[in-house]
Structure 1
């Protein structure tokens, strides 16, 4: 069954694995996950395909790489910044 994960839940998901992991193993373990964005969703497999790293030493490494590969529109509501509120 496909898994859906919001970006703010990614840390818990990635923490389920033992590191270091090759990019191939990350794809194997998490490729079936759908990332739920503020404005839609995308397969984690598609996001991982855009990442050039060959190996990840920690869950934080994977998460940072994913956040850098996610479209900016997917992270928050349009016009919103962390300083507002």
Structure 2
């Protein structure tokens, strides 16, 4: 028996199948989305500080409202001194 045949016989299982399918699609799409982000650390040996390569002009959130990036002068001085 196929899945569709079981669902046609027992119609009360259709909402359950829809919810499970939606949850699986949502989880897999979020996993794909997360691995495409530049701030996700997968391999720390090749790039131990991945946050240094994050472009501040590209929003890192799903929704960004009124975000402006301005460099912090003290942080820039420390960064120049340590390089």
Same fold (TM over 0.5): no
Higher RCO (CA-CA < 8 Å; seq separation 6+)? 1
Larger Rg: 2
More helix by share: 2
Q: TM-score, normalised by structure 2?
A: 0.22
Q: TM-score, normalised by structure 1?
A: 0.22
More strand by share: 1
